[in-house]
Structure 1
């Protein structure tokens, strides 16, 4: 029997508690063995589903735990690079939450350290491990909608809590770091192309962070328009328009929680097809894919280079907005 890949989590925040912690526990070939938190109260929900969990009071103690193979880093955005580097230097594989860095250039040293160490280090871009996005990419590549001409991406939610870390500029807050990685990253994932130019960027700021961003970009052969916001009703969709049809992804980023994972393909000859994935748990499939990459060197669907490329687009968006 193959030994399970042993995981640790740095921090006991809500996302790790409600999503990635349970996903690690449920994933085939993975075991959640350690948690870094000084609060036994915060550790209790993790211990409830992982009864053999070792709780370390410091993150450094987690990195010193010889019985940990992989460290998952879901800390505030400005801490991602620092602790991913520390984990690699401690000999651990690393799955780090998005955005990896707050500037594309910050990711370069992490890529170099990954290569030098021979360890796996990737961004936790979970949608890359959901079959609906594999199908979107296949449909576009196969010409199901003819030549791609335009992409529309929309991801918003309304968070009135100004004390939330997403409103803290010093900690990497803002709608683009939080959810722009999805609209921009999914466009890159589906098309395999990079934008040539940011043609328009209009950003509303509050407390020094972008609370709403309206962005247009030009790719080779098609255009894209993305809207992200932290002060708009919870909505998400991605639509790909071609010369012969349209692909509409109804719950592109949080399937299950937001709605059913579904692709609606409409073609100009009147044909329409719907594909559904009601049972796929994308955080679990992400963990299993990472375990496979650690155990046997299997290719991981989203690399640090992908994270750097998406961040480069976000950097360009900020620059374009500043120059208006």
Structure 2
């Protein structure tokens, strides 16, 4: 079964990452795009010349050739259009964050269960072997008992007209990239924090532009830093009683550097594992297709997405 995909919107990320990934993925085909701009549609048609361009999102949902829909719209529109996609009988992959509040995700999970269709958050790192390996090493006790996690994800976007600076559209560093530092900790450990011990947030235009958060899990602590107005940085580090795992290029593997993990163990032994050519967005599309065909469970559920959003909600409340 080849999955025919439609995309709602022709934004930069869909144009540069997910559109090409759908086109390149095994068992997938990009057949429809929703945009009223011929100029924005042109780059998609350059790599997918048979693409049908609809001038409305509703027309994409009504297209009988479309099996699955990818929703890369601004954050505040994710739930609305994901619900519409399911109502139209389409499987749906929604960009992160799925909702602006954890409670908003509940109706989407209910609709997913009612329809029997696939609905998931596009959390691409869950499909990268780099993170599969981190999860395995932690579970296997490679660094002893986990004691602390450090995570940072920052970039510098000075354009205050960007949607990330718009509170009404779900802007802010935590919704945009906190899903990575927080979500990857949850993904790797299988745990959620018991307590928010510290939350220091800098606000601008009604959104958080910089957040420093400390939390306590059962048996270990974590500290996360996210920012939209300082130099680009990203890494994760898991420190245990007998070693440390450093995750290099943990989120934008291949763009900010090679995906690597550095394992430092007691006694001074260090080894590095590398994944130089993995295309995580392609893997995500292929995994979604496998889930649609009933071949394997998708690697990141709406329940997991809700757990991450619950932590973000608690950070804001703190």
Compute the TM-score of the two structures, normalised by the length of structure 2: 0.99
CA–CA separation in structure 1 for the residues paired with 2:106 and 2:256:
34
The aligned residue for residue 13 of structure 1 is 11
The aligned residue for residue 138 of structure 1 is 136
What is the alpha-carbon root mean square deviation over aligned residues?
0.5
CA–CA separation in structure 2 for the residues paired with 1:270 and 1:158:
36
CA–CA separation in structure 2 for the residues paired with 1:35 and 1:245:
48
Q: What displacement does 1:297 show?
A: 4.5
CA–CA separation in structure 1 for the residues paired with 2:218 and 2:206:
33
The aligned residue for residue 41 of structure 1 is 39
The aligned residue for residue 104 of structure 1 is 102
Quick one: which of 59, 79, 82 aligns to 1:81?
79
The aligned residue for residue 167 of structure 2 is 169
Q: What displacement does 1:296 show?
A: 2.4
CA–CA separation in structure 2 for the residues paired with 1:274 and 1:298:
30
Structure 2 gap ranges (5+): none
Q: Deviations over 1:23-42 (max 9, x none)?
A: 00000000000000000110
Give the alignment of 1:114-193 within 5 angstroms.
114-193=112-191
Q: What displacement does 1:201 show?
A: 0.2
For residue 293 of structure 2, give the secondary structure of its aligned residue in structure 1.
Answer: helix
Question: Hey, which bits of structure 1, 4+ residues long, moved more than 6 A?
Answer: none
For residue 67 of structure 1, give the secondary structure of its aligned residue in structure 2.
Answer: coil
CA–CA separation in structure 2 for the residues paired with 1:162 and 1:82:
25
CA–CA separation in structure 2 for the residues paired with 1:37 and 1:231:
30
Q: Deviations over 1:96-135 (max 9, x none)?
A: 0000000000000000000000000000000000000000
Give the alignment of 1:162-311 within 5 angstroms.
162-311=160-309
Q: Deviations over 1:252-311 (max 9, x none)?
A: 000100110000000012211110000000000000000100122410000000100000
For residue 111 of structure 2, give the secondary structure of its aligned residue in structure 1.
Answer: helix
Compute the TM-score of the two structures, normalised by the length of structure 1: 0.98
Q: Deviations over 1:199-245 (max 9, x none)?
A: 00000000000000000000000000000000110000000000000
For residue 296 of structure 1, give the secondary structure of its aligned residue in structure 2.
Answer: coil
CA–CA separation in structure 1 for the residues paired with 2:164 and 2:143:
37
For residue 318 of structure 1, give the secondary structure of its aligned residue in structure 2.
Answer: helix
Structure 1 gap ranges (5+): none
Quick one: which of 82, 88, 106 aligns to 1:90?
88
The aligned residue for residue 62 of structure 1 is 60
CA–CA separation in structure 2 for the residues paired with 1:298 and 1:137:
19
CA–CA separation in structure 1 for the residues paired with 2:84 and 2:222:
37
